[in-house]
Chain A
């Protein structure tokens, strides 16, 4: 329960941020970090807890984004409903992709490559069919009313994103304590051993992919409503997939707070680097890259391992005493 209390406290503190924070820039910076945390945690469900490393989570992101855009622009369906459809489509695509790949026993790098390929196939499809706007992309008409899932003030988008991120983190908190979560971790650690004790690895992995796809799809919906424009490169390109796994890896994969920690650390680092060397093109990226390499080298299990290391040292000191 202490973990839940901490989670609620963090999100409660984040929820009141727009009231005290005067700067839209900083609110936007926190939003970008929260968005990374959301896609990082979505990836973490499949990659961190169930051990299914995907390089193509942009597939679910893009489907969610296109669902809300296409339904709204071509069929006049309210984006709140589009949001539900986007999430469901993400979940369905996760399950379908899982069914196709796990059925043929694809694991590890083979699974990763197939997910990458699927995202690329959908990028090409979105480029080719007219209802997605093809290469020109799809533009949602500006109508800043909450009923249209558009907000005049940045805080509206912020609270929407915070709600989605909280739901995702709460789900992972529940997973850590649930039978399904335990089964996912068993499959991740040793699939054959898990199967030997009666875990239906196929179904467990399928559920993990569906859950992961659901939140990634919702992230796609949020992105599309925030920027009101989506094209195949933005939707299915590798950028979202890389960001999702990067924040989880930097923060600590298979941990509840890892993606949140990773997202804020990376965005803080990017902002700090830009603050120091903002006007020299690319210099901030050099600092960002160098620190990132150092973090991966010296903290291969992510930032959360710092806390675990500290806890171990304290335990050792207590024993020695």
Chain B
């Protein structure tokens, strides 16, 4: 005698069998519903001397991951979600390298790092050992992209491009006003970024008829700019070009005002504060009229304006660290999407072939040459009436250039 039915399949056994069969049939779709998360290493200097910028970078990267996940993840991989592996380089290249190794061992399929050029040099080199795709978020030193590392990509411009554009723009602005400015003083911080920029400017500006009266270097941090301001005052240049980090930029600009130095323009190159909302809000008088050549979003892009609002809703300023890191992560995610895989070689090939245009930046679609996005460019901004407006190139401009300031 069988249990429950005569000569047929017992009812309980039938039900259990049906349930099991349903389960088995449903299993693949369930597995498809939860594909394995794709890990991305975000390595930034969130502690140490560069912590403000590092934290802004981290915020930008995390926002990009949240937005991509909210939009359905990586669709070509069954909607796989992105997951951040956060690393702190402590503002030191050696720790940056160590954190990169950790992230890769923890399963990171791509790295976005490391803000400062010296840290980027270490993280890209470390990621290259496993051919892990690495997108540099900010690091502007040209040497990062000139080492022949095939895993390394940069979405933003390097300082060679930035400095050359800065010179061309200054020349155009000056000529449009009837060439009133003839002399320049450069004040720069003495690490890689400031020194490299000053060197390029010192070579390029004389080609456009500008006379360099003085090039003044200073360390970071620097607590008092009075002596430097007095040297500038004695030189009496038509244009002052500062290239330094936020705190030093603010101090220098304030000291210039205190010493009643009134050049035709303060024209920065990658000015640490010149294109900073914080600077404009906290020191509106010192900021007024300051021009800058810097990373900036396309103010006419709805996408950029949406991201700006979302950033401000989090209580953060929409600084270059935020949108450059956001875009570095989004660029990497786009490559994984197109590759349909996290295989390093496939993702690298996808990055090389990238024509991504969802950045909200004034770049156009990406075009990679030896890892560098050749479409990337800086823009000129000017503080006018307490607002930071784009003044060049014309297609992105929100306001007319005000030059000379006095």
- A114 contacts B by Cβ under 8 Å: no
A142: contacting residue among B54, B104, B149, CB under 8 A: B149
- A279 contacts B by Cβ under 8 Å: yes
Q: Is the CB of B88 within 8 A of A281?
A: yes
Contact with B along A225-249 (1 / 0, CB 8 A): 0111101111000010000000000
Tell whether A227 pairs with B93 under 8 Å between CB atoms, given A142-B148, A142-B149: yes
For the complex, give the distance between the alpha carbons of A235 and B90 in Å. 17
Interface of A is mostly: helix
Q: Is the CB of A24 within 8 A of B101?
A: yes
Contact with B along A25-53 (1 / 0, CB 8 A): 10011001000000000000000000000
Q: Is the CB of B195 within 8 A of A278?
A: no
Tell whether A234 pairs with B93 under 8 Å between CB atoms, given A135-B196, A136-B196, A278-B88: yes
Q: Is the CB of A23 within 8 A of B47?
A: no
- State how many residues of chain A have any CB contact under 8 Å with chain B: 34
For the complex, give the distance between the alpha carbons of A227 and B199 in Å. 24
For the complex, give the distance between the alpha carbons of A83 and B406 in Å. 57
- State how many residues of chain B have any CB contact under 8 Å with chain A: 37
- B254 contacts A by Cβ under 8 Å: no
Q: Is the CB of B121 within 8 A of A281?
A: no
For the complex, give the distance between the alpha carbons of A228 and B129 in Å. 14
- B143 contacts A by Cβ under 8 Å: yes
Q: Is the CB of A239 within 8 A of B92?
A: yes
For the complex, give the distance between the alpha carbons of A128 and B219 in Å. 12
Q: Is the CB of B47 within 8 A of A229?
A: no
Q: Which of B186-194, B331-339, B385-393 contacts A (4 or more CB under 8 A)?
A: B186-194
B121: contacting residue among A28, A29, A139, A239, CB under 8 A: A139
A-B contact pairs, 30 of them (CB 8 A): A24-B101, A24-B104, A24-B105, A25-B101, A28-B97, A32-B94, A32-B98, A127-B195, A134-B195, A135-B189, A135-B191, A135-B195, A135-B196, A136-B141, A137-B192, A139-B121, A139-B147, A152-B129, A227-B94, A227-B97, A228-B125, A229-B121, A232-B190, A274-B88, A279-B86, A281-B46, A281-B51, A282-B47, A284-B88, A285-B47
Which residues of B pack against A, CB within 8 Å? 46-47, 51, 54-55, 58, 86, 88, 90, 92-94, 97-98, 101-102, 104-105, 118, 121-122, 125, 129, 141, 143, 147-149, 189-192, 194-196, 199, 217
